[in-house]
Structure 1
Amino acid sequence: MRLFPYLLLALWLGTLATHAQSITIVHANVIDVATGQVQPDQTVVITGKRIVRVGPSARITPPKGRLIDARGQYLMPGLWDMHTHVYFDGTASAGTSLILPLLVANGITGIRDMGSELDSILHAREAVAAHRLLGPRLVVSGPMLDGPKSPYKASIAIATAEDGRRAVDQLKARGVDFIKVQSLVPRAAYFAIAAEARAVGLPFEGHVPDAVRASEAVAAGQRSFEHLIGIFEASSTAEDAYVAGSPKSPASLLATFDPAREATIIALLAKHREIWQCPTLFWERGQWLVDSIAWRQAPDLAYAGRSWVEQRWPRAQLSIAKNMDTDPLPMRARFVGHELDLVRKLHAAQVGFLAGTDMPAGVDLVPGVSLHLELQRFVAAGFTPLQALQTATLNPARYYGRLQDFGSVQAGRLADLVLLSANPLADIANTQRIVGVLADGQYLSRPDLDELQRRLRQVAASK
């Protein structure tokens, strides 16, 4: 009986699939996320998976097909969550039935998956692309490469340089899109992974490992830094000790903070514009303040798997408090403010940022919902609503070199779009006021989304 809600959901989702249909959105306010301009009263014509025409509604006669009146509404590119774990350890069983459709329900039409069971994530990538499964388009790493004693199931244990090279070659043969490195990768293995990934033509991204300096990761060609790891250490007078294995904590990082060293690493990252930051600010706040956040009162808790709420999150909360967040709460709160200040400085130096959430690996990371909260954290760090919106729309397109496909509402682009009832440039929280989602040309209206969310609440209750 536990499968029953999912079977009903799968049958219902099958009725939503459309093939090569024509959809015309009329009288929309179209948001240009590159400039912040809003073009009023626009018509957008979509055939199959692509936008074929955009222009003033008075000049375009809608072709035959579905007509969507977007009068008073705002149309923008679909959102990307650039740090996810769809099939990860204890939440992997919810990947297909809950997490992927919940992302689409929240306007997320693309994800970068940073660590999942290999077979599951490859199957999902194929099934979503073929419209056999409702979900965002996926860019995937498969399992993470971590140290020999990794605590994660969705990882490959790496002890030696040869282990690293072998893992890269195996993942390349299976067709992953990039390599994800984790914190415990040994130093020699890290550089072997970097060299082998470069040799086989795969980007490598992720954590700056504990045994590696941020400056060395820059020189090695690491494509992204997650969670600001490496930058804190580079800003500390104790960086050498940390790389050698000394323990670190918010208190020690703050006590050894050196503004001059911070300025140096910021300047280095600003010089290497090809390296992006994915700071996962909502999760960072939740991690360091885990004993003070009231996640049980979260308004979207009904979309979290029941086992997450009753077992996984309480266990994680206790584990984090015991093993990581041992500094006093005021010190950790100060460190969270320090993180936001670092993001402000990096952004002022024109370092590129990507919005990512780490969902559902941490506490209180409801898939889909957490991306909207991440955008709000960027605004708290000093970004304008437009700049925050760019981290989940335009910047992913730039990151992948696919401006011809994503990141704008223009002819020729893929039909990954979100229709809102209010302007997100006025208030970033308006990204949650979704009235319609186009995912690879498949349209879900507000009634469709309401029914989808109702069914997903049933699925969540069974997980």
Structure 2
Amino acid sequence: MCASSGWAQDLALVHINVIDVATGRILPNQTVAITGPRIVRVSPSTRAQPKAKRVVDATGQYLIPGLWDMHTHVYFGSTAAAGSDLILPLLVANGVTGIRDMGSELEAVLQARAAVAAHRLLGPRMVVCGPMLDGGKSPYQAALSVATAADGRQAVDLLKRRGVDFIKVQSLVPREAYMAIMAEAKAVGLSVEGHVPDAVRATEAVTAGQRTFEHLIGIFEASSTDEDAYVAGGQKSPGRFLATYDPAREAAVIQLLAAHREVWQCPTLFWERGQWLVDALDWRQDPDLRYAGRSWVEKRWPAAQKNIGQTLDTEPLAVREKFVAHELELVRRLHAAQVGFLAGTDMPAGVDLLPGISLHLELQRFVAAGFTPLEALQTATLNPAKFYHRLQDFGPIQAGRLADLVVLSANPLADIANTRRIAGVVADGRYWSRPELDQLQRQLLQVAARK
């Protein structure tokens, strides 16, 4: 879907309540002036009309920074065909103005990153890794096979030359290859993020410098008395994790992560629940399903559900429900230890993961894990800014920062579900009113029906 040719605007949002995502303070009745892609002033509103070309009266509404989905797969497998004209614009329509893409077809994602930045394509800011690095028998199309240390170094060098932003590692990367990847990435100035591979301990991943743990992988293993067996290639399952769970071992790995504040957790809680309980959740009743590509609903997701049932969800439902509750408690304990968290969804790779929409549900899962609404909101706003060391561009709404913003009709600090009550979106300085968003979403419904 093409972006508007007249992108950035001379804009003022007046009489709006500005939420400071660093402190939770609400600044009432503010004027936020935007010129081009940046905020130029945040100040109390007066009776005098601002001189901006477009003035939006936002009386009674709330302003938050644009949201980041820190675990996406835009050009991935059979959903790749919908990346440009459905997935990316649907993210913006739901207030997601930045994404970290954790594995996509290289050419497609590089072209999209450039097109979005040049406003030739409607979508959020994109931080990308290109294809994932995985073992020799990876089941994913958007992956490079890495079997040896030499393979690992070559893959890192290739992706560096192509201009990716970081390296993503998957579960099947062999131990020797992983260590080579970590060393080579450090040498060429790329961070490594992703799964803690099956052959590597969480403690080793921290020492090696891996910047994120996805899906809490590595922590479950480190909290089990069977960790040695897992690293040696033993089978894992929710029931086995629960049966061998050792609180003292968990406390030790939490303490380690708390001491290494540069290592962040992206737990994808909404999808974790969806994965382990896929047979018990009637995803076909999701009222937002109409925004999913038709082939996702009719082919991809039913096939994925069947595969999960045959390979992952083989234990009794009660065991898996207990494990999902255990995940929330683990997140609660990590959070209490001040381990950093990032909000991510894994969309659209998993069943019933809808671009943009699922991020709001992820924030609700953080609250279910004991986060305050402000803390949950920070996982998609302030924390990504800290993670990328770009507080000068993102984070709290202040003059000089990039104009990625979401206007809400209700206070998200009172109820995190209010992040879905979107009255407007500012993406790189371009304002989308609620009627404009409605029109965009009607167009996207038509696109979804063809996909």
After superposition, residues 77-96 of structure 1 pair within 5 angstroms as 77-96=65-84
**Conserved? CA contact 1:146–1:182, under 8 Å:** yes
Change (3 A) 1:220 1:59: farther
Aligned equivalent of 1:430, options 392, 405, 418: 418
Query: Structure 1 residue 274 and structure 2 residue 262: aligned?
Result: yes
Return 61-70 or 288-297, whichever deviates more: 61-70
2:366 is aligned with 1:352: no
Counterpart check, 1:316 vs 2:304: yes
Specify the alignment match of 2:375 in structure 1.
Answer: 387
Indicate the residue corresponding to 2:21 in structure 1.
33
**Identical residues among aligned pairs (%):** 75
**What letter is aligned with 1:185?**
V
**Given that residues 8 and 430 in structure 2 are in contact (C-alpha distance below 8 angstroms), is that contact kept between their aligned partners in structure 1?**
no
Instruction: Report the CA distance between 1:60 and its aligned residue.
Output: 7.0
Q: Label 1:165 to 1:301 Cα distance change in 2 as closer, same or farther (>3 A).
A: same
CA shift, 1:58, in A, is 1.9
Tell me, yes or no, if structure 1 residue 160 matches structure 2 residue 148. Answer: yes
Q: Name the counterpart of 2:399.
A: 411
User: Which of 417, 438, 444 is 1:456 aligned to?
Assistant: 444
Tell me the TM-score normalized by structure 1.
Answer: 0.96
Matched, 1:223 2:211: yes
Q: Counterparts in 2 of 1:24-423, with a 5 A limit?
A: 24-58=12-46, 62-423=50-411
Tell me how far 1:20 sits from its aligned partner: 4.6
Note if contact 1:116-1:144 (Cα within 8 Å) is conserved in structure 2: yes
CA distance in 2, matches of 1:433, 1:407: 20
Alpha-carbon offset, residue 19 of structure 1: 4.2
1:17/1:442 contact within 8 Å kept:
no
Cα distance in 2 between the residues matched to 1:198 and 1:420: 41
Deviations 1:374-431 (A, max 9, x none): 0000000000000000000000000000001011210000000000000000000000
Secondary structure of the residue aligned to 1:41 is strand
Output the CA distance in 2 between the equivalents of 1:21 and 1:193.
43
CA-based RMSD of the aligned residues comes to 0.9
TM-score with structure 2 length normalisation?
0.99
The one-letter code matched in structure 2 to 1:187 is R
Task: Quote the offset at 1:59 in angstroms.
Answer: 8.0
Q: What is the DSSP-based 3-state SS (H/G/I as helix, E as strand, rest coil) of the residue aligned with 1:312?
A: helix
Contact kept in structure 1, 2:8 and 2:428, CA below 8 Å: no
* Superposed counterparts of 1:5-24, under 5 Å: 10=1, 13-14=2-3, 16-24=4-12
Measured in 2, the distance between the counterparts of 1:334 and 1:59 equals 57
State the alpha-carbon separation in 2 of the partners of residues 99 and 165 from structure 1. 32
Shift of 1:233: 0.2
C-alpha contact (below 8 Å) 1:43/1:60 kept by paired residues: no
SS class of match (1:58) = coil
Instruction: Work out the CA distance in 1 between the residues paired with 2:320 and 2:48.
Output: 56
Q: Look up the equivalent residue of 2:152 and give its one-letter code.
A: G
SS at the partner of 1:374? helix
Deviation at 1:341, TM superposition (A): 0.3
Output one character per residue of 1:289-325: Cα deviation in whole Å (capped at 9) or x when no partner: 0101110010100000000000000000000010011
- Counterpart Cα distance in 2 of 1:20 and 1:181: 36
Q: What SS is found at the alignment partner of 1:62?
A: coil
Instruction: State the shift of 1:113 in Å.
Output: 0.2
**In 1, Cα distance between equivalents of 2:233 and 2:284:** 36
Instruction: Name which of structure 1's ranges 20-29 and 60-69 shifts more when overlaid on structure 2.
Output: 60-69
Question: Residue 4 of structure 1 aligns with which residue?
Answer: none
Give the match's secondary structure for 2:114.
helix
Cα deviation, residue 21, structure 1: 2.5
Secondary structure of the 2:341 match is coil
The residue type equivalent to 2:385 in the other structure is A
Q: Is the 8 A contact 2:7 2:119 kept in 1?
A: no
Cα shift at 1:442: 1.0
Question: Structure 2 counterpart of 1:257, which letter?
Answer: Y
Distance in 1, Cα, partners of 2:203 & 2:423:
45
Q: Unaligned stretches of 5+ in structure 2?
A: none
- Structure 1 SS opposite 2:46: helix
Q: Across the two proteins, how many residue pairs are aligned to each other?
A: 451
String of CA shifts for 1:313-353, please: whole Å, max 9, x gaps.
00000000100111100000000000000000000000000
The CA deviation string for residues 343-379 of structure 1, in whole angstroms up to 9 with x for no partner, is: 0000000000000000000001011100000000000
Match of 1:6 in 2: none
Deviation >6 Å, runs of 4+: none
- Distance in 2, Cα, partners of 1:151 & 1:21: 45
Pairwise CA distance, 1:17: 3.9
Segments of structure 1 that go 5 or more residues without pairing to the other structure are 1-9
